[in-house]
Structure 1
């Protein structure tokens, strides 16, 4: 069921939610969290689709906050809140509220959001595009136990990464880090099989790739070796090479969903190492709502050669 509200209030939106639940027979008690998506019109569709797909694993109330820019200065004084209330539509297993904030109310989005949060459940805020310099101090970010950004969506990802170093607060994470989970698992498994000491490391990726930078820092932290960054034609990360006294350990993925693992003295094997859709990344992040201590450590390790 879909209900459109124009020039409305949080109270009216809650009434529409109750009406929608009664119409489709869907209780709110099965939802485990509130996911707040702060985005613009351009990115709203893709972000909401990813959230709907993730809701199959994590039933939630999804609030999409779209701040509409004023065309003229005088429009800044005209506040209006429009809303779409969706219950049981678009494949979502929870509830979806698409909120468009016009005028001065866009500067006080938290006052609109607070009455719409599920009681006694965690809050996660996700910025699919540009994010605040300090997410934890943002009015919406301050409401959340978990704050998700995406360095892939900004114009200067490595510059934004350095900003994250200074603004990090427990609960912050980034999808560039989440994208590395299969790589980290593959490399950890390779080292378990090789059982040798790594003396050097290199990450090959397209230039200015934030996930490659985070992977280099992770390798430096875990292996206590300087990690070289090598530019390749991409896409994204194409290979990791670990030098040992017995030869190189190589995980190589030049293109496509499959990678090749080469260990000294052993036949090469094929690994599944595909680029995952955003819905899978969000679903992974929603599985844990505590602070990611390793992510915090990697942010501080700027050199890729262990702790400073």
Structure 2
């Protein structure tokens, strides 16, 4: 059921919600949180609502969509209430703001918040530079952004380092959950050696690749090379160097990864590129600060991009040094045997 309320007020929207509940029980009260989605009226609104509806099957919520319209228009609030099959397991309230009301999103949201329920704010695109200082973001326990959806993902990710406040997170980080789980599990298998160096490769504009490099560098306390791969979307590979051989996780097709390491059979791992709805569902499972994400951000300034050509040259140079060292070792051993003879 979709109910349109053109040129309305938040008090009228609230009254309509109460009427729906009293007349037919169309709007249930079993909501665990309020999810506020801040988006542009023209692009991304329906996609964000669809993702929220799917996530609501695990996290029933009141979803409030603040869709910012044209600033040049006359001040007006158009509302829409969606319940039943049009709202998943949630109730969806779409607020379309025009004119001077575009900057009054927080004032429109406050009267519609569920009492005594956590508040999560999600910007599918165009998040503020400092989410915690945004009028709507300041209301929230958790603030979800997506640097991959910005015009300049890498630059946006760098601003997250400076603007981080407890409760912030980024869906570019959430997309790494499977990668981090596979790599951590691989290091739990023999031979239990320390990782000495690592390389992570992916698209040049992939913020998830930067975050994986920062995560490995921060928690393993090792140098990590970040390699830009041409003609690749998102993450491509992660290589962890150990004395007995490398642990390699490669996903060439964006769907299935291959894990190889010395002394273990080659494994195929499901690494399907995650949908926004799956990432959103995962983030709604927790309302406490993500300390691992925070520490990863602190290591992000140390991530340096290099091209695939530079990486290949570095690998060849390292291989040459290893071969030279091996030859020198053989020569020294031969000389020692001659002296002993």
TM-score for the superposition, normalised by structure 1: 0.94
Structure 1 position 226, deviation (Å)? 0.8
Counterpart for residue 58 of structure 2 = 57
Q: 1:198 aligned to 195, 200, 224, which one? A: 195
* 2:296 is aligned with 1:295: no
* 2:223 is aligned with 1:226: yes
Structure 1 position 22, deviation (Å)? 3.8
> Pairwise mapping of residues 59-208 of structure 1 onto structure 2 (< 5 A)?
59-71=60-72, 75=73, 78-90=74-86, 92-194=88-190, 195-208=192-205
Structure 1 position 230, deviation (Å)? 1.1
Query: Contact 2:148/2:207 (CA < 8 Å) preserved in 1?
Result: yes
Structure 1: which 5+ runs fail to align? none
> Pairwise mapping of residues 211-222 of structure 1 onto structure 2 (< 5 A)?
211-222=208-219
Query: Contact 1:257/1:273 (CA < 8 Å) preserved in 2?
Result: yes
Counterpart for residue 2 of structure 2 = 2
Counterpart for residue 17 of structure 1 = 17
**Stretch of structure 1 that moved more, 257-266 or 281-290:** 257-266
**Stretch of structure 1 that moved more, 117-126 or 255-264:** 255-264
Structure 1 position 304, deviation (Å)? 4.9
Taking the aligned partners of 2:108 and 2:284, their CA distance within structure 1 comes to 23
Query: Contact 1:36/1:63 (CA < 8 Å) preserved in 2?
Result: yes
**Stretch of structure 1 that moved more, 247-256 or 88-97:** 88-97
Taking the aligned partners of 1:23 and 1:43, their CA distance within structure 2 comes to 33
Distance 1:229 1:146, change over 3 A: same
**Where in structure 1 do 4 or more consecutive aligned residues deviate above 6 Å?**
none
| Aligned-partner SS, 1:90 | helix
| Aligned-partner SS, 1:105 | helix
Counterpart for residue 241 of structure 2 = 243
Distance 1:173 1:151, change over 3 A: same
Taking the aligned partners of 1:68 and 1:27, their CA distance within structure 2 comes to 27
Q: CA RMSD in A?
A: 1.4
Structure 2: which 5+ runs fail to align? 305-341
TM-score for the superposition, normalised by structure 2: 0.85
Q: Deviations over 1:64-104 (max 9, x none)?
A: 11111134xxx4xx321000011113251110011100111
Structure 1 position 24, deviation (Å)? 4.5
Structure 1 position 21, deviation (Å)? 2.9
Structure 1 position 139, deviation (Å)? 0.2
Query: Contact 1:251/1:261 (CA < 8 Å) preserved in 2?
Result: yes
Taking the aligned partners of 1:143 and 1:256, their CA distance within structure 2 comes to 37
| Aligned-partner SS, 1:251 | strand
| Aligned-partner SS, 1:241 | strand
Query: Contact 1:21/1:87 (CA < 8 Å) preserved in 2?
Result: no
Query: Contact 1:205/1:238 (CA < 8 Å) preserved in 2?
Result: yes
Q: Deviations over 1:180-217 (max 9, x none)?
A: 00000000000001411111100010112100000000
Counterpart for residue 36 of structure 2 = 36
| Aligned-partner SS, 1:165 | helix
- Indicate the structure (1 or 2) with the bigger Cα radius of gyration: 2
Structure 1 position 27, deviation (Å)? 4.9
In terms of fraction of residues, the more helix-rich structure is: 2
Query: Contact 2:27/2:91 (CA < 8 Å) preserved in 1?
Result: no
